Structure 1
Amino acid sequence: MEILETIGFDLGHGETAVAKARVESIEPPEMLEVNNKKVQVTALGWHPELGYLVGEQALIQAGVTQLKISFKQKPNNDPNYRETIRSFVETYYRLLKESKQIEGGENSQFYVGCPSGWSVSDREEYQKLLKESGIGLLSVVPESRAAFMQAKEAGKLDFDKLKSSVLIVDIGSSTTDFTLVKSLHEIPIDFGSNALGASLIDKAIFARTLAKHEEKALLERVFGQYPHHQARCELACRKAKEDYFSNEQLYKHPQTFARGFESINEQIYFVPQVNGAIAQEILNHPLSELGDKSWIQSFREAVTEAKEQLDQQGIVPKVVLMTGGASRMNFTRDICQEIFPEPETQVRPDPEPERCIALGLSRVGRWDMRASAFKEEVKQLFDSKKLKELVERHIPELIEQLTLPLSQGLIENVVKPGLKDWRNNKVRTLADLENALKRSAEEWIKSDRARLIIKNQSVTWFNSKIQPDLAAETDPICRKFQIPRSSLRFEEGIDPAVVNPELSIGDAILADTVGFIVNVVIGGGTIGSIIALVLTGHLTWPIVLIYGASVLAAGVEITRSKTQEAIKENVDVPSWSRGVLLSDSKLDSICEQMNPELENVFRKQLTENRETFNELIAKVGQELQKALNTKAQEAIILIQ
């Protein structure tokens, strides 16, 4: 059976939400409902006749004898904790299947979130515990990753921000987690004991309300004997808190209050209330859970510590992405904006934090599967050796593009200046001229100017020959995964001045090509062939016609090879005749005639060294593979 859907299960300390994404679709995930609610309180109740109930039903159903809330925590061996988690997830799973909202079984892959500060072993143990609920295909991933994925796919982060540094601040009911997403990798930021959860504010409201209640002693006895009544009253405190922070402007006046309500019996009510003054009192009150620091002080210190840790690494996040229900509290946003000021950093609270993680988890699951398939497609392209064959096929065009500019460059920068030096009597014999031309040719081939010529021709070759054939291989992959074709193209070319500096393809391919061509020209006998062409074909025999008699008088047998050697070694042509022998017009004529001959020498030498091109072909193929892999890693984030 194949996985058809990914289920994002946000089992939160305060609230729970579930979302579903179809694997073969890029449509946004949909929120699923339990008890006709997309988001509801994390609550588990036991009813003697109905069994386990979750969410709102556990709260309102008459006859519930046990009620548990806010039970998410690091996995441990407490049997009550483990039974609560198992029963809650098992009930949720059953209700989702019964309502036909999910396929279930091997068709549904579940992704459950956890705080980013949990260790790998914590996640593994939590995953093992959750699977005991009967869900076979289940993975635990950090909630920060889900928040990042939701922001990415909802279009809240452009590509530059996706590739840079994003700080995620997840203010949940039990913890506040800071996670740096850098180059698409999550890095949790540890700021010590993390007990900074928004449920502490609920408990503070509960404690304040109880302390001021006229039936305080009676309530304490009731809560001790019937814990589910205390759980309901704490939920009433959470409701008052959420109402206040959602409408702070309404409750600034000292006579207006956000209220919760819970009936203990027909005569006793528990009515927590919050307004501006009460909220400030609670937020600034020392809490034992926070080392006798207030909630607002602890949050400020946590954000400051995260900033200091990033400063030490020289990191300035482009975006601070806030999520978690408590991110609705305006003061948390104000503190983040104060510590991470614009324009260097943009603070962006998620508009729907209660849905963010569930949606993000379902997206993470779908993304993981599609990304794995994408990477496999790219890997198959590498393994097929098509890249090497592609480069090898176009080596003749590279040779053709190099021959003309190299021959022209050698004539202008080596041959012509060398012949002028001989004409001006700066060089005595043709043997001296041969040595001088060889030295000059080698120096020029190694020079920045010659390397620039080779580089420019290689750029043209890559862009006109390699890139189109490469695009023919990569474009179908991009179409299949519905990402821009440019994701796997090198449309800017391989010129290091314009290509993405994070990609080594420009420097690497050009360096390999230039170095290879220089070595072939110098070490492959090309320069020797060129100098012989210059001296033998265009200078030695004109001298023989004039000075043949004197050579004979020296007792040298007139043969082609020996005459050439004799003239090169022995004949010092008088300076007055050198100008006649090699006038400006004659020099230009020789160079003009020589140009196609030099091209042929370059072409012949490079072609005859074709076997040694295998080394270049392999190197260019390897660099293409590395560069494509880098682009593929970048492109993965574009997959939905």
Structure 2
Amino acid sequence: MEILETIGFDLGHGETAVTKAIVESIEPPQMLEINNKKNQITALGWHPQLGYLVGEQALIQAGVTQLQISFKQKPNHDPDYRKTISTFVATYYRLLQESKQIEGGTTSYFYVGCPSGWSVSEREEYQKLLQTAGIPHLNVVPESRAAFMQAKEAGRLEYEKLKSSVLIVDIGSSTTDFTLVKSLHEIPVDFGSNALGASLIDRAIFERTLAKHDQKALLEKVFKEYPHHQARCELACRKAKENYFSNEQLYSDSQSFARGFESINEQIYFIPQVNKLIMEEILNQPLPELGQKSWMQAFRAAVSEAKQKLDQQNIVPKLLLMTGGASRMKFTHQICQEIFPEPETLLRPDPEPERCIALGLARVGRWDLRATAFKQEVNKLFESQKLKDLIERQIPELVDLLIKPLADNLIESAVRTGIKDWQKNQIRTLVDLETSMKERAEQWLKSDRAQKIINNQCISWFNNQIQPDLAAETDPICRQFHIPRSSLRFEEGIDPTFVNPELRIGDAILADTVAFIVNVVIGGGTLASIITLILTGHFTWPIALVYGASVMAAGMELNRQGVKEAIKTNVDVPSWLRPSFLNDKKIDDICKQIKPELEKVLQEQLTANQEAFEQLIAKVEQGLQKALSAKVQEAIILIQ
């Protein structure tokens, strides 16, 4: 069955949020609600009559006998952990289906996030565990990828920055993850033991509040016998922390406090409270989970280590994206900005960090499906005969484009230059002239100059002939996936190697025609024109030249052909006669006279050389596929 929607499932250590994106739409994902709230405390409770409850309902429902909170961690074989995770996801799935917020079944594809520091094997094991919840289609992806996709599609990343280096700092409840996104590829930045989660701050507030409580001993006894009461009290500490960091200025006064509240019974209350002075003490107290570093010290050390590792690779991120609910703590922004200063690195905290990952996961899912479909459509074009046909159809145009510049340059480089040398008495006989012109023609046809002309004509051919036909095939694909038509066009030009791979006139395409062109047109045609001038010029000195002493002595009676051969072989026109006999105007006339014949021969020989052009068609098709494939890799980031 066709997948209609992607579900972003952000199962966090502290909070959980779910979103939905329609696969065939480019509209932003929508937040889904559980218990009429878009974000829920990650909590699972058991009620004897109501069964399993999640989120706020698990916390406030009277009669809940078991309560689990903050249970996200790396996959392991603890049966209680595995049951808690599987049951929590299955309950969420059931509630979303019952409320008709998702289609469910095989039409919905769930994308669940995990810390980017998890290994591939840990990610795979986590995916297997989640699939026990009974969701048909489910995939686990790094949360950093979701943060990047959300920033991209929400318009906070320009295209050029998308292609550059972006550092994502995800400060979660259980971990802080650093991920470098370079050329659209994610690279986790490890910095040792990663226990740097904001829940450590909650725990520190809890321990401080418990230590100062008037009924500490009684509370400890209650917590031991009824763990769900401790879980609720820890959540109250988290609430106090969030209230504080949501508006720190309100609590800078020593008499102002951000508070949480939990009632154990009618006589016992647990009321954590923090202000600026208390929070500074908590953030700077040594924590055993962090090797006796304070939370602030550990965060600064982690950011510094990430900076050092990037420096070792000569990488300066253009952007630093901050996400995760704990990224609302302003001091984390200040530390990141100190270590990654502007303007080299721009700081971009996510405006809705508690929703960022869920939204990004739904976008990642939709993007994955649409990007796969996009590549499949382009591959269909590759697998068809369309590319080959459109190239083959335009080969006559390429021949026409090559003929004139080849003819012009052969005449200038071989014929005109050779005759000028003869005119200047640098070449003795017409036989020597013929040899010189042949050598010059062959050298030019194999020269870089000839190759450059061919490259330019091939590019012109591609832009004016191939490109419009190609656009007719690729534009509908771009429209289908809502990306600019230019994404699969080569409007800025194309590398000559793609449209002219190894097209060497001297030793490839014209290999079989060079000798013919040189002998028939350049050699025979040019010399015939010069000999005609001799035979039809002033009668007195040409005869003397033709019937030289060496010829007459042999007693030969020369026919016309014999005269021509004798002139070619024996006549050495005096240097002082040559400029007047063959002036520049006559040289121009000779060049004009042989040009149509040269163009005709080039046309015939190029057109007849089918095998060479079949090879060219195949090579251009391969080059075009390679170029389009590169375009596809650039274009898929634009898909929404």
**Superposition TM-score, scaled by structure 2 size:** 0.95
User: Superposed, which structure 2 residues align to 1:473-492 within 5 Å?
Assistant: 473-492=473-492
1:23 corresponds in structure 2 to 23
Distance, in Å, in 2 between the alignment partners of 1:90 and 1:561 is 102
The residue type equivalent to 2:533 in the other structure is P
Structure 1 pair 17–477 and aligned structure 2 pair: CA distance change class (3 A): same
Cα 1:535/1:562, change in 2 over 3 Å = farther
Q: What residue identity is the alignment partner of 2:151? A: A
CA spacing shift, 1:30–1:334, aligned 2, 3 Å: same
Alignment of 1:515 onto 2:504: yes
> Is residue 149–residue 360 contact of structure 1 (8 Å, CA) maintained in 2?
yes
What pairs up with 1:337-486 in 2 under 5 angstroms? 337-486=337-486
Query: In structure 2, what is the Cα distance between the partners aligned to 1:594 and 1:138?
Result: 74
Q: Given that residues 202 and 237 in structure 1 are in contact (C-alpha distance below 8 angstroms), is that contact kept between their aligned partners in structure 2? A: yes
Cα deviation, 1:65-122, whole Å, max 9, x if unaligned, reads 1111000001111011011111111111111111111111111111111111111111
CA distance in structure 2 between the aligned counterparts of 1:455 and 1:110, rounded to whole angstroms: 50
Contact 2:438–2:523 (8 Å) recurs in 1: no
CA offsets per residue over residues 222-254 of structure 1, 9 Å max, x none? 111111111111101111111111101111111
In structure 2, how many angstroms separate the alpha carbons of the residues matched to 1:272 and 1:183? 46
Q: CA deviation at 1:512?
A: 1.9
In structure 2, what is the Cα distance between the partners aligned to 1:479 and 1:372? 16
Distance 2:557 2:71 in 1: 108
Q: Residue 568 of structure 2 aligns with which residue?
A: 568
Residue aligning to 2:533: 542
Cα displacement (A) at 1:578:
2.1
Residue 521 of structure 1 and its aligned partner are, at CA, apart by 4.1
Q: CA deviation at 1:412?
A: 2.5
CA distance in 2, matches of 1:87, 1:242: 28
* Partner amino acid, structure 1, of 2:411: I
| Structure-2 separation of matches of 1:191 and 1:472 | 50
Give the AA of the match of 2:618.
Answer: A
Q: What is the correspondence of 1:195-214 to structure 2 with a 5 Å cutoff?
A: 195-214=195-214
> Which deviates the most, 596-605 or 86-95?
596-605
Q: Partners in 1 of 2:264 and 2:159 — Cα distance?
A: 54
- Deviation of 1:452 after TM superposition, in Å, equals 2.9
Please say which of residues 365-374 and 444-453 is displaced more in the overlay.
444-453
Q: Secondary structure at the match of 1:103?
A: coil
Write the letter of the residue equivalent to 2:89.
V
Other-structure match for 2:110:
110
Q: Contact conserved, 1:178 with 1:190, CA < 8 A, in 2?
A: yes
Q: Deviations over 1:278-307 (max 9, x none)?
A: 111111111111111111111111111112
Distance 1:226 1:287 in 2: 26
Tell whether 2:523 aligns with 1:532: yes
On the 8 A contact 1:536/1:564 being kept in 2, the answer is: no
Deviation at 1:342, TM superposition (A): 1.6
Q: How far apart are 1:393 and its partner, in Å? A: 1.3
Structure 1 residue 198, shift from structure 2 partner? 0.7
8 Å Cα contact 1:243/1:259 also seen in 2: yes
Partner of 1:247: 247
The offset of 1:544, in angstroms, is 5.1
Give the drift of 1:208.
Answer: 1.2
Where does residue 288 of structure 2 map in the other structure? 288
Residue matched to 1:497: none
The within-5 A match list for 1:110-189 is 110-189=110-189
Decide whether aligned partners of structure 1 residues 558 and 127 sit closer, same or farther in structure 2, where only a CA change above 3 A counts. farther
Distance in 1, matches of 2:23 and 2:561, equals 78
Give, in angstroms, the shift of residue 620 of structure 1. Answer: 1.2
Structure 1 contact 4–107 (Cα < 8 Å) conserved: yes
DSSP 3-state at the match of 2:16: strand
Assess, with a 3 A threshold, how the Cα gap between structure 1 residues 152 and 591 changes in structure 2: closer, same or farther: same
State how far apart, in whole Å, the 2-side matches of 1:533 and 1:262 are. Answer: 107
Cα distance in 2 between the residues matched to 1:298 and 1:269: 33
Separation in 1, partners of 2:347, 2:278: 27
Q: 1:207 Cα deviation (Å)? A: 1.1
Q: Distance in 2 between matches of 1:311 and 1:518?
A: 49
- 1:267 corresponds to 2:267: yes
Secondary structure of the corresponding residue to residue 575 of structure 1: coil
3-state DSSP class of the match of 2:577? helix
Counterpart-to-counterpart distance in 1, 2:518 and 2:216:
102
Q: How far did residue 377 of structure 1 move?
A: 0.5
Identity of paired residues, percent? 70
Cα gap change, 1:377 to 1:533, in 2 (>3 Å): farther
Contact 1:544 1:567 in 2 (8 A): no
Go from structure 1 to structure 2 and tell me whether the alpha carbon gap of 1:91 and 1:485 turns closer, same or farther (over 3 Å shift).
same
Q: Please say if residues 552 and 558 of structure 1, whose CA atoms lie closer than 8 Å, have aligned partners that are also in contact.
A: no
Distance of 1:598 and 1:624 partners within structure 2:
32
Distance of 1:326 and 1:558 partners within structure 2: 107
Aligned-residue Cα RMSD (Å) equals 1.9
- Counterparts of 1:62 and 1:353, CA distance in 2: 31
Give the number of aligned pairs.
Answer: 629
Cα distance in 1 between the residues matched to 2:268 and 2:258: 20
The corresponding residue for 1:498 is: none
Partner of 2:539: none
Looking at structure 1, the residues matched to 243 and 560 of structure 2 have their Cα atoms a distance apart, in angstroms, of 106
Change (3 A) 1:610 1:563: farther
After superposition, residues 1-20 of structure 1 pair within 5 angstroms as 1-20=1-20
Task: Tell whether the 8 Å contact from 2:488 to 2:635 is kept in structure 1 after alignment.
Answer: yes
1:499 alignment counterpart: none
Check 1:556–1:234 CA distance in 2 against 1; reply closer, same or farther (3 A cut): farther
The reply to whether residue 235 of structure 1 matches residue 235 of structure 2 is: yes
Question: Do the aligned partners of residues 626 and 556 (structure 1) sit closer, same or farther apart at CA in structure 2, a change above 3 Å counting?
Answer: farther
Bigger shift: residues 206-215 or 525-534: 525-534
Alpha carbons of 1:91 and 1:428: their partners in 2 closer, same or farther (altered >3 Å)? Answer: same
User: Does the aligned pair in 2 maintain the 1:438–1:531 contact within 8 Å?
Assistant: yes
Change (3 A) 1:455 1:352: same
Which amino acid in 2 is paired with 1:520?
I
2:512 and 2:309 mapped to 1: Cα distance?
Answer: 54
CA distance in 2, matches of 1:563, 1:395: 45
Task: Output the CA distance in 2 between the equivalents of 1:87 and 1:524.
Answer: 78
Task: Specify the alignment match of 1:193 in structure 2.
Answer: 193
Aligned-pair CA distance for 1:557: 7.3
In structure 2, relative to structure 1, the CA distance for the partners of 1:521 and 1:63 (3 Å cut) is: same
Tell me the TM-score normalized by structure 1.
0.95
Q: Distance in 2 between matches of 1:114 and 1:385?
A: 44
Counterpart Cα distance in 2 of 1:585 and 1:577: 15
Query: Take 1:341 and 1:209, find their aligned partners in 2: how far apart are those partners?
Result: 37
Larger mean CA deviation between 556-565 and 7-16 belongs to: 556-565
State the 4+ residue runs in structure 1 displaced beyond 6 angstroms: none
- Aligned-pair distance for 1:434? 2.1
Aligned residue for 1:576, secondary structure, equals: coil
Give the CA deviation at 1:345: 1.5
Distance 1:257 1:183, change over 3 A: same
Instruction: Choose 309-318 or 512-521, whichever is displaced more.
Output: 512-521
Residues in 1 aligned to 2:33 and 2:163: alpha-carbon distance in whole angstroms: 35
- Mapping of residues 297-336 of structure 1, within 5 Å: 297-336=297-336
Contact 1:236 1:260 in 2 (8 A): yes
Check 1:566–1:213 CA distance in 2 against 1; reply closer, same or farther (3 A cut): farther
